Every structure is written in structure tokens, then in C-alpha cells.
Structure 1
Amino acid sequence: MEFMAKATALVGGTVALMRRMGSPKHQAMGSAPEIPEAKSQGIMTLKMPVAHGWAHGHVPTCAPGLKVNAFASGLDHPRWIEVLPNGDVLVAESKEQPSAPRTLMDHAAQATMRRVKAIGISANRVTLWRDADGDGAAEMREVFVEGQNQPFGMALIGEKFYLGNTDGIVVFDYKSGDTSLTGPGRKLVDFKPGGHWTRSLITSPDGTKIYAGVGSLSNIGDQGMEVEEGRAAIWELDVEAETARIFASGLRNAVGTAWEPSTGALWTVVNERDGLGDETPPDYLTTVVDGGFYGWPYCYWGDTVDDRVPQDPELVARAIKPDYALGGHTASLGLCWMPEGTLPGFGDGMVIGQHGSWNRSKLSGYKLIFVPFANGAPSGPPRDILSGFLSEDEKLAYGRPVGVAIGPDGKSLLMADDVGDVIWRVTGA
């Protein structure tokens, strides 16, 4: 395995260097992005920094007027955050578990992921963190629930706590102030596990529905579309009836979701396909409508056909163009709505945790960004909130942004960092 990692790094580095010379000068960003023509890569670009973590006193770089501190540390690959009404902060600790590689590229991709601790033994738990004295750092840690199957998304409705494992949604009884859950929980929905394994959850504003992101198994339906049935979609669970259906489809890997309050629209961030170039196609932020189809795997950014895939012209004709491009392979995962007044100098908008690329010649993402909104839609270019997660030579990753949430005080932002094993807290300086 060590030999494979070194060989992958050498070959991947050489391929990335060659491709960097002809890479696009600008990222495909915004409502009207310039997306370069697709160039099928053959051998996919593999470039991943080595997981390094944060030395004592080293923290991410803040936007002017902000400051950052560790709210919680010493976690095991923290991915997702849920803030409970009583102020307790829940953190899902989990990671991808390697499946048997099918091809040489699978071997190489897994070796690449191990460089940044993105694959391996999963903690499979949710921990509870409490900042009782209000100083911005949690002093209490409890195991909220363990023995789960790659837990990720979390949602609370009344006295029912919902957890998104990779193989489905489980519900537990919960009372305000509980520091742990009891019993095995009750499974409500089955999902196909593996592949893009994360299962984000968000409740509807009226508490009657839960929406869950379920990513594809493969890049472009590589193993056939039968195994992709029920995947590359956002599901809707009716809480009272305990029935579930596909709400929207053609979303290769929709992870974070958020409600825009003025319109009531559901928004998501989607990780697009690989192997067509550094900026082709871009990851994106978009509204999600009931019954909507967003192109995967047949096409991207509307009706731009991916000619590597056996086509379905009717679905291509139905494909909805996303609202806002986030740059190629930024791995935009975390998403939350941030109202004006949360952080000084920032108005209404969406906050996005960009986990960062592993398959382009010049790394992208590795930032916590803000997209301003006006009249229910993106209204300008993104702004950095936190950066500095990469070394200047792109060889080391100090951290990688994932889940984001508004802090319990309403005046801070919390962000999970699964390489630094930290929950960062951002506030006004």
C-alpha cells in the first residue's frame, strides 16, 4: 500500500504538472461562468496534499474584521455539525471506508485519499460538545451516539432525533438536555451505502419533512445505471407517515442543503463529475425543485452533453441549469444560510465549506467562502471567510473545511475541519 501511495504521488504529480501548463487561467464561478470545453483525460489527474494538521498557535487565515478559535479539538475526522435548540453542538465523526478496488485507478484513488486521511477506519459516532460558560470553547464532551454506519446528517423535530447513516435514516427518542441517546434507534428509510457515502439531512421549516442528500455510486454511471437507482438524488421523508420518495434527481453528489428564508426555496451544493478538465464542469450551488432533474450523468450545466455516457435525449432536454458555479472540483460540501448581522461586514448569504480538490492540476477549494444574496438569489462574487488551509507549495493540508453551522449565540460560525480534527469558531474581531 505504501508503494502504491508513492507511485501514485509520482505519476499523479507528473501528470498534474503537464496539465497545469495548459490549465484555465480563471475559475468557472458565478451565475454566468465561462466553462472550458471538455477534454477527456484518459488517465485522470490525481493530486492530493499530505495531511499535516495545525501546529500549536497556527490557525486559519480570517477575512478582515474576523477572528477564529478552536471551539472543540481532538476529534476523529469531524464531518458535520448540528446545533441543538439548547445550544449543545453535535459533531458527526466518520470517514469513507475502503471498498475492494476494482481497477488500477481505484487503487490509485484510494492511495491518494489516504494521503489526506480521507479514507480508513471510521469512528462511527456523534459527539456532543457544550460551552456552558459561554467563552467560545466547549469544556464538556460526551458520546451522544456510537456504533453507527458512517453517520453524517442530523435533524431534530420535537423529541425525535434523526440521523443519516450511509445506509439509511434512523430515528431516536430525545429530550432537551440529553447528553446521550439510548437504544438502537429505529430505521425509517433504506439507502444504498458506499460510493458518495454522505447522507445530509435538513428539516422543512414546518417540521413535517426531512430532506436527505444521497450521492451517486460512481463518477458517471461507470457500473451501469441499475446500481445507481435511488442515488444521485435528494430524498424527501414525510415525518408523520414515515414514507420517503425521490424529491429531485440528476444531482451527482448533493451534500449540504439550506433554506433561503425570503423565498422559502431549498438550496444545495453539488459535486460534479471528474475527468473532463480542471474547470469542467464546475461544482455548483442551486435551488432544488420538486421533480427537478439536474443532468447527471448524461449532461452538465444544463444540456451540455457528456459524450462518455450512453445518452437519454429526453432527460437531457429536461435538465435544469444550476444557479451559481463554484469552480471546478472545489468539493463544496458544507452549506448554511447566514443572515445579515451574524458576522461584521457580511450581509445575507450562503456559507460554503469547500473541502478541496484532489483531481486537478492546480488545487482548488480548501476555503470557507460566502456567497452574497439579494432578492432570494446570489448577488455577487464569493468572498473568503477562512483560508490558509494549504501550504503555499500545495504539498501540505493543514486542514480541510467540511460542515458549517451558525453558532448557538447567533453571532458566530462553526466549521468542521476533518484534517485538523477541529471545530473552528469564527466571530467578529
Structure 2
Amino acid sequence: MNRPILTALAAAAFLAGCGETAKLPAEATIGPAPQLAAPDKRMIPTVNIAPAVGWTDTAGPTPANGLAVTALARGLDHPRWVYTLPNGDVLVAESNKPPKPKEPKDGGDGLFAQIRNKVMGMVMARAGAGVPSANRITLLRDANGDGVAEMKQVFLQNLTSPYGMVLVGNELFIANADALVKVPYTEGQTSIATPPTVVTDLPAGINHHWTKNVAANREGTKLYVTVGSNSNIGENGMAAEEGRAAIWEVDVKSGAKRLFASGLRNPNGLGFDPDTQVLWTVVNERDEIGSDLVPDYLTSVKDGAFYGWPWSYYGGHVDGRVNPQRPDMVAKAIPPDYALGSHVAPLGMTFSSARGMPPELANGVFIGEHGSWNRKPLSGYKVVFVPFIGGRPSGPPVDVLTGFLNAEEKAQGRPVGVALDKSGALLVADDVGNVVWRVSKAR
């Protein structure tokens, strides 16, 4: 039997179910001081993906008591991120992973590495992430405020796997997979034909983590851009990680950038606390050391701080798989503020507002948990709320939107980006259901 067939068969066997089951209760890996299990050192990683099936008819997720959910728009093409313009129009980045660069036939890898790559490709396909990127931003307009958009049209196209968006003055900044770009914007316009201008290039290439997000400070003078790692734990060599696993600060006027924080394996959701103006992010931590490790997290982001990746996690917990070891870097690593649970895959994050939410959801952050592919049992696949008091997380996450998994543990949807609309209601991009959901107070 030739090697490609053997590799494919081995990968299929992996996907039939492999790896260990979580030993810790899920709640033990959540909070400011999560319990960290011993690493599981087996060669074959845990694989347990919820196959993507989408929603049937007019079905949708289940809101928490006191909330209602409507489909702001259906029939989108892999919606990943949402952004609300000042006039209430909603921009949706319809996007997916850019094409993989051509590599040598064997890539210098052994059979196990080829099997792992095949497994990951099959995982992504089953998760609904195998479709080509639409590479566009669509505008949604709900003129009568009934929670359903009457207008859905292409706003900007021919982008490169766009993700985060932010408006500063009359310029819309977009985080493509390979660059931060901008276009002029006039309030109320429904499409833009002007080609984007590059503000600054961003690390791209192999794109193990391709998503880039962007947020602006209150003054509109600085932008903050997330860039995920190019590997799980640096196995592609640290030269391939130059400028990655980091958050960059970009000057709005000049486009000059500097490294703001590093050691963040895959930061996604990003935003400033409206009360303290402290920058926060959610981060996807490393894989393949068990269902209990490593908890993904929510953390404030300090200027110049290093958060451990790849040499350690949660401060000084050394990852023995990384070679060479760097005790000097481990000594610098600071622990994150709040664990969200192992492998929940937090992507979206936005601060709440009392304008459109009940009092118990008025102060804190909403987080879109895309869901695990490497944990038994499954985790994530929901939108949660983490309450804040005095600018800090103050209690366990509260489920806001659930039901993305059906009774057979297949994914009807998977939440990604979250944002507030003009009224303060919560918008959720669902990239498997191809829907943007709107969550508001029940009438």
C-alpha cells in the first residue's frame, strides 16, 4: 500500500475517535485560578469534532431566560465577524482561511507528521471550515428595528480573508490575513468601490492561524491588531513565528507599528473596557496535551507583557515539548486573568452595555465560543457572558446563547464574532449556520 493511501487511512482512523477523556469537571478549568491537570503525553492527540450540519428551516439557537433571538440575516457565506457603524448599519466579514501556499511534496516530514496534517485537514472540513473564502464584507440594514435586516448587499469585495473592522473618523480599517488596509467611508453609504490602501503589512505565509482583528483606542490615534501563531507550539521553527502570537500597536496617521504584547498563542476578540480603557482579549491556547489542557482565556493586555507561548502556559507551567527550552522566557511569563475552560475556542469578545441588556448582563463581556475539536466531551459551542466588577471578572460565565449542538452532537451553528448593535442588542456571527443572530431583551 502506498504512503498517501496509508496516511489517509490512518487519519480516518484518528477521526473515528482517539485520545483521552477529560478527568477534570469543566468548571475546574474556569476562573481566575483554574485547576491544571498533568499533561497527557500520548503520541496521538485527542480528536473529537462536532460535524457541521447547519440549521434546518427557520431553526435557531436557544437564548437564556429573559432574552429573545432573531435572525438578523440568513444565507450568508461563512460570516466570521460583525461590526456596527454609527448609523446602525452592520458590516459582516464573510471570510475563510486563505489558500495554503504550495509546499514540497513531502515537506521533509515523517509519516506521523503527514498523518497529523491529514487529520487537521479532515478536522477542518468536518467543522465546516473547508469552503473557499468569499473575501468580502456585506452590509445589513434593519431600518424598522424589528431585528430582521431588510437590506443585505455587498459592501466591499476582493479582500484577502478579511476579519476585524473598525471605523476611525471617516476611514474604515480592515484586518486582512496579510495586511491592515483602509478605505474611505461616508455615513450611510451602502457600498465602496475604492480599492483599499495598505496601512501596514501583517505576518502571513503558511497561516496556521490566519484571523486578524483590529480595535482602536478611544482617542482614535492607535490601532491594536491581533496576529496568531503559525503553529501549535513552534514546531515550524521560531523564524516562522516572527511577529506572530502577538498584539501590535499601529499609529493611525503614519502606519508605523510596534510590538505591544507577545506570547499570546492566538488572540482574537479584542476591545477596551469602556470604564477603565484597559485593553482585553480572548486567546486560544495550545493543543495536543489532553482534554484538560490548556484552558483558553480572557485577559487584560499590558504594554510590553509576555504571556508564555510557546515555552510555558499560565505563567511558569513549562511545556516540555518545546525545543529548545527557554527558562529566561518562562521567567518573564505572566499568567492571564481568567480561564474560560479547556478548548472552548473563544473568538468573539465585546463589552456589554445597559442600553439593550437586562441588569445582570449590563457590566461585563460577551464571548463567542466557537467550540472544541480536541476535547472529550465537547466544550464551547455557545455564547457566554463574564460579569465584571471594578474592571475585573467577578464570577463564573453565564450562558447567553446555547443549542448550537443538536442531540446527536452535530454543529447546527458555531458562534464567532460578537458585537452590540446601535440599540445595545447582541449580534452573533454564526459561520456554520451562515446567519447573524440578534439577541435582545424579551418583550
* Within-5 A mapping of 1:9-408: 10-16=13-19, 19-20=20-21, 23-27=23-27, 28-99=29-100, 103-193=114-204, 194-309=207-322, 310-344=324-358, 345-394=360-409, 396-408=410-422
| AA matched with 1:314 | D
Secondary structure at the aligned position of 2:16 is classed as: helix
Secondary structure at the aligned position of 2:118 is classed as: helix
Identity of matched residues, %: 49
Q: Structure 1's 220 and 346: CA in aligned 2 closer, same or farther, altered over 3 A? A: same
Answer yes or no: is 1:416 the counterpart of 2:419: no
Shift of the alpha carbon at 1:6?
8.2
Secondary structure at the aligned position of 1:226 is classed as: helix
Distance (whole Å) between structure 2 residues aligned to residue 220 and residue 277 of structure 1: 14
Distance (whole Å) between structure 1 residues aligned to residue 183 and residue 286 of structure 2: 35
Shift of the alpha carbon at 1:264?
1.3
What is the TM-score when the length of structure 1 is the normalising length? 0.95
Distance (whole Å) between structure 2 residues aligned to residue 405 and residue 9 of structure 1: 38
CA RMSD of aligned residues (A): 1.8
| AA matched with 2:341 | G
Unmatched 5+ stretches in structure 1: none
Secondary structure at the aligned position of 2:14 is classed as: helix
Kept in 2, the 8 Å contact 1:263–1:376? The answer is yes
| AA matched with 2:14 | V
Distance (whole Å) between structure 1 residues aligned to residue 290 and residue 83 of structure 2: 35
Residue 110 of structure 2 is matched in structure 1 by: none
Relative to structure 2, which stretch is displaced further, 99-108 or 30-39?
99-108
Distance (whole Å) between structure 2 residues aligned to residue 71 and residue 403 of structure 1: 14
Secondary structure at the aligned position of 1:327 is classed as: strand
Distance (whole Å) between structure 1 residues aligned to residue 354 and residue 142 of structure 2: 24
Kept in 1, the 8 Å contact 2:72–2:435? The answer is yes
Q: Structure 1's 339 and 134: CA in aligned 2 closer, same or farther, altered over 3 A? A: closer
Q: Structure 1's 226 and 347: CA in aligned 2 closer, same or farther, altered over 3 A? A: same
Distance (whole Å) between structure 1 residues aligned to residue 426 and residue 57 of structure 2: 22
Secondary structure at the aligned position of 1:397 is classed as: coil
Distance (whole Å) between structure 2 residues aligned to residue 41 and residue 153 of structure 1: 37
Distance (whole Å) between structure 1 residues aligned to residue 49 and residue 90 of structure 2: 31
| AA matched with 2:42 | Q
Kept in 1, the 8 Å contact 2:98–2:210? The answer is no
Distance (whole Å) between structure 2 residues aligned to residue 254 and residue 275 of structure 1: 18
Shift of the alpha carbon at 1:9?
5.1
| AA matched with 1:26 | A
| AA matched with 1:385 | V
Shift of the alpha carbon at 1:330?
0.5
Distance (whole Å) between structure 2 residues aligned to residue 119 and residue 262 of structure 1: 40
Kept in 1, the 8 Å contact 2:64–2:401? The answer is yes
| AA matched with 2:334 | I
Shift of the alpha carbon at 1:347?
2.9
Distance (whole Å) between structure 1 residues aligned to residue 9 and residue 363 of structure 2: 45
Distance (whole Å) between structure 2 residues aligned to residue 2 and residue 72 of structure 1: 42
| AA matched with 1:75 | L
| AA matched with 1:57 | T
Kept in 1, the 8 Å contact 2:226–2:248? The answer is yes
Shift of the alpha carbon at 1:368?
0.2
Shift of the alpha carbon at 1:339?
2.3
What is the TM-score when the length of structure 2 is the normalising length? 0.92
Query: Number of residue pairs matched?
Result: 424
| AA matched with 2:25 | K
Distance (whole Å) between structure 2 residues aligned to residue 3 and residue 78 of structure 1: 36
Secondary structure at the aligned position of 2:241 is classed as: coil
| AA matched with 1:201 | V
Distance (whole Å) between structure 1 residues aligned to residue 146 and residue 5 of structure 2: 43
Secondary structure at the aligned position of 1:112 is classed as: helix
Kept in 1, the 8 Å contact 2:368–2:417? The answer is yes
Kept in 2, the 8 Å contact 1:97–1:120? The answer is no
| AA matched with 1:323 | D
Shift of the alpha carbon at 1:47?
1.6
Distance (whole Å) between structure 1 residues aligned to residue 92 and residue 286 of structure 2: 28
Unmatched 5+ stretches in structure 2: 108-113
